[in-house]
Amino acid sequence: MPQKATFAPNAAGRGDQAPATNEAPPTRVRRVILGLTVAAYMITYMDRVIMGVTIPSIQKDLGLSLATMGTITSCFRLAYSLFQIPGGWLGDRFGPRRTLTAIVTWWSMFTAATALAWNAVSMATLQVLFGMGEAGAYPVATRSLARWALPAERGFAQGITHAGARLGGAITPPLVVFVMVRYGWRVPFVCFGGLGILWALVWFWYYRDDPALHPRTNEAERALLRGSLGTSGKTRKAVPWKSILSTPQMWIISGMYFCYAYNLDFYLTWFPKYLNSERGLNLTKMGLYASIPLAAGVAGDLFGGWFSDVLFKHTGNLKLSRRVVALGGFLLAAGAIWPAFIIHDPVKSVLCSGLVMFGLETTVGVSWALTLDIGGEFAGSVSSVMNCIGNAGGAVATFMVPRFVQTYGWHVPFLVICGLSLLAAVLFLRIDAGRKIIPT
C-alpha cells in the first residue's frame, strides 16, 4: 500500500514544511508562477513611469502647462483607484488566469495607443482607459498567489513582487530617455505596450487557478500546498462585501495605504520633473537620477518582506512581525524626506530620497501580505479595497503637487510626505494581521 504523506509542523506550529514522503521532492511550479507575477508587477511600473519621464517632452510638443499635466496624470490615478474593486471582484469571480490575461492585454493596448495622443483631451482619455485596465493588476495578482504562496512565505512573496515593480520603475527612466532622444516621446509607449501583450500570452499558457489542475505540479507539491492552504474546492463563493466593508480594520489599512500611495506617486510622477526644473538636470541626468530612489525601493521591498517572514518564523506572532517592519519603514521615510529637500548637492539629495523610498517600500510587502493574512480566499477583493483607497491618495498627489509647487514652491510636497509617513505609522499601530476579516 502506498505510504501516505505526513506533515511535520515547524517550531511555530504552522505546518508549512514539505511533506515527509518517500516520493520525489515537490516540483517548483509555484516558484515559476511567482516569477511571472514579479514580471507582471515590473510591467505595471514600466508603463506608468513612462509618463513621468516624458512629461517635459510632452509639455513642449503639445504645449501643455504643468497644471494641465497634473490633471492628465490624475486622470490615470482616479480611474486606477475607482476600478480597483471591480478588478478585484473579477479576479475572485472568474479566476486570475482569465482575468489577468484580459486586463494586462487591455492596459497594454492603451499604453501603446498613448503614442497617438494629439492634445490634452486625447491624452487624458487614454490615461483613463489605461488606468481602468491596470487597476485590477495588483488585486488579481494577489489573488493569484492565494493558492500558490505558503503562509510563511507571503511576506517575501509580496516583497519580491513589489521589488519587481520598483525595479521596473528604476530601469525605465534611462531606457525611456535612450529611446526618446532618438525617436521621440511616442515610441517608448509602443515598445512597452507590446511587452505587456507578450506577458499576457505567456501567463494564459502557463498559469492555472488551482494547483491540482496544473500539468507540471507533482503530487508532492500539491500536497505541500494543500497542507498549508487547505483544499481548494471548486465552488466559487459569493464575495462577502458586507463583512469586508463593515470591518473597521479594513478602513484603517486603507487609510494607511492612502498615505503610502500619495508619497509613492510623488516619486513616480513628479520627481523627474523636480530634478529637471528645480535641480536643473538635463534629460540624461534626470533619467539616471530619477531611477536611484526606485532602485533603493527594490532593496526596501526585498528587505521588508524577508524580515517580516523571519520575525514570523521565530516568534509565531503575525501581528508583531508585520507591525515592526511597517513602523520602522514609515519612520525612516519621515526622517529622511526633509534632508532630501534641503541638501544642495544633487547626488546627496537623491541618496536621501533613496532612504525615503527604502523606508516606504519596506512597508509594501507587509501591506499586501496583510490582505492575504486577513482576506484568505477573498484576498483579491480585500486588496482591491485597500488599493482603491490607497490610489485615491495617488490621484490626490498627481493633482495637488503641481498646484502646491506653483503656489508655494517645491518644499510643500516634501513636508506633506513627512506628515503622511508619520500618520501611516500611527495607523499601523491599530492593525492586527492575525485577525481575519472573514472568520473561518
92 vs 303, more confident: 303
- pLDDT band per the 50, 70, 90 thresholds, residue 193: very high
pLDDT computed for residue 20 by the predictor: 46
**What mean pLDDT comes out for the span 388-404?**
86
Task: Name the least confident of 104-108, 156-160, 301-305, 385-389.
Answer: 156-160
CA 162 to chain CA mean position, Å: 5
Give the pLDDT of residue 440.
54
Q: Which of 9-23, 75-89, 101-115, 297-311 has the highest mean pLDDT?
A: 101-115
Residue 278: what pLDDT? 86
Question: Is residue 416 over pLDDT 90?
Answer: yes
Q: Exposed, middle or buried by CB within 10 Å (0-12, 13-18, 19+), for 279?
A: middle
pLDDT > 70? residue 228: no
CA atoms of 377 and 370, how far apart (whole Å)? 13
Q: Which of 100, 138, 85, 103 is nearest to 388 (CA)?
A: 85
Q: How far apart are CA 79 and CA 73, in angstroms?
A: 10
Is 32 exposed, middle or buried (CB count within 10 Å of its CB: 0-12, 13-18, 19+)? middle
Mean pLDDT throughout 255-276? 89
29-227+238-428 topology per CATH: Growth Hormone; Chain: A; (1.20.1250)
**Residue 326, all three cell numbers:** 511597517
Rounded alpha-carbon distances, angstroms, from residue 217 to 27, 70, 84, 201: 6, 48, 31, 20
- Scanning 246-345, the segments in alpha helix (DSSP H) are 248-265, 271-277, 283-315, 318-342
Rounded to 5 degrees, φ, ψ at 150 are -70, 150
Region 52-59: mean pLDDT is 86
pLDDT in tens, 200-222: 999 999 998 888 888 888 887 78
Using DSSP's 3-state secondary structure scheme, residue 6 falls into strand
What amino acid occupies position 388? Answer: C
- The b-or-e profile of 174-195 (16+ CB within 10 A means b, else e) is bbbbebbeeeebbebbbbbbeb
- Return the minimum-mean-pLDDT range out of 15-24, 255-264, 388-397: 15-24
- Mean per-residue pLDDT over the chain, rounded: 83
pLDDT (average), residues 354-381: 84
Task: Spell out the residues 6+ positions from residue 98 whose beta carbon is closer than 8 angstroms to its own.
Answer: 204
Mean pLDDT of 81-105: 85
* Strand partners for 20: 6
329: closest CA among 298, 365, 359? 359
7 pLDDT higher than 60? no
Q: Helix, strand, coil: what percent of the chain each, to 5?
A: 80, 0, 20
Residue-wise pLDDT for 233-258, tens only, equals 455 567 788 888 888 999 999 999 99
CA distance 389 to 387: 6
Q: What gap in Å lies between CA 37 and CA 158, rounded to an integer?
A: 10
